[in-house]
Structure 1
Amino acid sequence: MKKAIIALSALFLAACSAPSDPQLDIKPVASSNAHQIVENIKLTLDSSDLRTAQYVAVIDNGRQNVQPIHAKQNLRVTLEDALSTQLKNQGFIVTVDSDNTLRLDIIEALVSVQHSLMSNEIKTQVKLQITAETPRGKFVKTYNGVSEKSGSMSADNQDIEQVLNDLLNAVLDKIAVDEELQTYIKGNF
């Protein structure tokens, strides 16, 4: 009986120390093209994650084995932080009590990976929506990003992280240099 308890205890401890599911390190950064467009205009930044599933990657190895992978960080918070830095570089003061609001909605952020031992194909889609709202009106625009990459050998987590981070950065760059959004903000904030 003692041997059975010891064996079960060892098995339980081994299960507790087993590695957890892999997660991706997603770290988008503010656009380097974010130049000053206003001077000390206050706005409130808000964000929401409208994705139906919270994973950021799906890996299909071709053997009817599909594995979802989540981000280490909260994607909404990470993107909001990058956009906040970007807005500050553009001359805004991000505060909690402004009549001017800018909302970031994450509609899609997903990497689809199909790979085998000898090849991989990575397809990435990002869709973010920006809503600029003042007491005088509202401006809504969707920013899309799509990328495809293929290579030899199987894809690893670093490849997937790089592809998603690069695409998120490209979409943030589109937001930073969007003349329609800048015109609306300059005229209404």
Structure 2
Amino acid sequence: MKKSLLLLVTLMLSGCATHWPETALLNPQIIPANQQYYAGNRITMEGVDKREAAHVFYIKKKEKTPVLVNSERPLNLLLAEKLAEGLRSQGLEVGNSGTTNLTLAISSAVVTVEEQTFTYITKSRVSLQVMADFQGNRLSKQFNMSSSKEEPGEPSIAELEFLLNQQLGNLLQQIMADEALRSYLKGQPS
């Protein structure tokens, strides 16, 4: 009886495989500033995607073809929009003309899930680069974040979206708080 019950539970659990969507809903949150750092400063901004592949989630199960999930919106446009929103909350004017050109480049933004014998290993890596150009003076800074977790159950799409949104949001906050970048955006490179 115990063997039959164990077999039944095993079959039921193996039949509960996660169905992965084709796209992920990414929407990193930023905290609007409560302080104005810029007064009358204007910049232009663009988002560039330098990743080798467009997917944001890579799910590899044993003996199966990997599942690749892309962002619903182009990630470079989404992150540039969010960063512009955050900088505007600090008093910066972001538009088609300005004294400083700011580029936000995505070097890496991926969460991988790999099935092991009894567990799933989830690893994430996000790497963003900002480049500011003020009248020939240039600043380039890299912002990185990564994590790794091993757990008995397969993570859900909602858990993966939460993880990536949190890391992207944290890096955008770091960019907004960077003092050297603020100097360039104010037109006062040091």
1:118 deviates by 5.6
Q: Figure out how many residues of one structure are paired with residues of the other and give that number.
A: 171
Distance across 2 between alignment mates of 1:172 and 1:34: 16
Q: 1:34 to 1:182 in 2, by over 3 A?
A: farther
1:57 corresponds in structure 2 to 57
Are 1:116 and 1:154, in contact at CA under 8 Å, matched by a contact in 2?
no
Preserved contact between residue 32 and residue 90 of structure 2 (Cα < 8 Å) = no
Structure 1 partner of 2:153: 153
Task: Kindly provide the amino acid, as one letter, of the partner of residue 113 in structure 1.
Answer: V
Q: C-alpha separation between the residues in 1 aligned to 2:78 and 2:130?
A: 16
Decide whether the 8 Å contact of 1:33 with 1:173 is kept in 2.
no
Give yes or no for the alignment of 1:178 onto 2:178: yes
Output the TM-score relative to the length of structure 1. Answer: 0.81
**Alignment pair present for 1:92 and 2:92:** yes
Unaligned runs of 5+ in 2: 1-18
CA shift, 1:64, in A, is 4.4
Q: Matched residues, percent identical?
A: 24
Structure 1 unaligned blocks of 5 or more: 1-18
Superposed CA RMSD in Å reads 2.3
Q: Is the deviation greater in 115-124 or in 76-85? A: 115-124
- Local SS of the residue matching 2:55: coil
1:166 aligns with 2:171: no
Q: How does 1:1-189 map to 2 (within 5 A)?
A: 21-32=21-32, 35-115=35-115, 119-186=119-186, 187-188=188-189
Distance 2:50 2:68 in 1: 18
TM-score between both structures, scaled by the size of structure 2? 0.81
